[in-house]
Homo-oligomer: A and B are copies of this chain.
Amino acid sequence: MLVIISGRVNLTNNQIVTKEAVILANGQFPESDFCLDILNSGKDIICCDGSADKIAAFGLKAKVIIGDLDSISPELKKRHPEIIIDKSDQNSNDLTKAVHWAKENAYTKVIILGATGIREDHTIGNIYLLSRYNEIIAVQMVSDYGIFDVINSSSVFDSFPGQQVSVFSTDQDARFTFAGLKYEVNNRALHEAWMGTLNECTSNSFEINFDKGSAIIYRVFD
């Protein structure tokens, strides 16, 4: 059940050339078929530090392994020095380093897996960082439970009746209006992070309107 955002890209010729990479962060390793299909799709896989051991155990090889290398096993580090990119600076996390590497290496989109679960501060940080990443490169994050998209302007999403939807604003004062969702939001600021959560689509699409900042839209798979 792949759900696709629409109303987001305006094209003159209806063609986008994408060179997609998968970034595997070092949170909970995905278990759902949906995520595993993405891993197995043949796209280049950029591993964040210790996630390289997880992908090796899964039977796939990373295109590159990037990060401060404080959690990758010494064995793997020794075995594949040719794919290791040591970025030891502490000013950004490994996921951010991976996103920048993708951009610098001519990828035009990244799908991030494994960025949630385990430590909750990593989960929150990674989700909210999506809006920064989206300034650099087209990005989606997928977990076992749902899919995250970033929008910078009012957008329509493909959906289905009953689909659970949450909206996170990056600007506390931005005013939102929802259409096609069960719980009405009408020209209201989502001051606190929980205020846009746990909504539900009532038809086959919904619309998120807002006046500034960006928003992270989460659609639960079932």
- Chain A residues close to B by CB (< 8 Å): 90, 93, 116-129, 131-132, 143, 145-146, 148, 164, 166, 168, 170-173, 183, 192-194, 197-198, 218, 220
User: Chain B residues with Cβ under 8 A from A129's Cβ?
Assistant: 194
**Copies per complex of this chain:** 2
Does the CB pair A193–B124 fall under 8 Å?
A: yes
Does the CB pair A218–B117 fall under 8 Å?
A: no
Does the CB pair A166–B121 fall under 8 Å?
A: yes
Residue in B124, B145, B146, B148 whose CB lies within 8 Å of A168:
B124
The A interface, classified by DSSP as helix, strand, loop or mixed, is: mixed
Does the CB pair A124–B127 fall under 8 Å?
A: yes
- Bound together, the chains give a CA A171 to CA B189 distance in angstroms of 13
Q: A119-B220, A170-B192 are in contact. Are A197 and B146 (CB under 8 A)?
A: no
Residue in B124, B145, B220 whose CB lies within 8 Å of A124:
B124
User: Chain B residues with Cβ under 8 A from A164's Cβ?
Assistant: 119, 121
Residue in B118, B132, B143 whose CB lies within 8 Å of A145:
B118
Does the CB pair B128–A192 fall under 8 Å?
A: yes
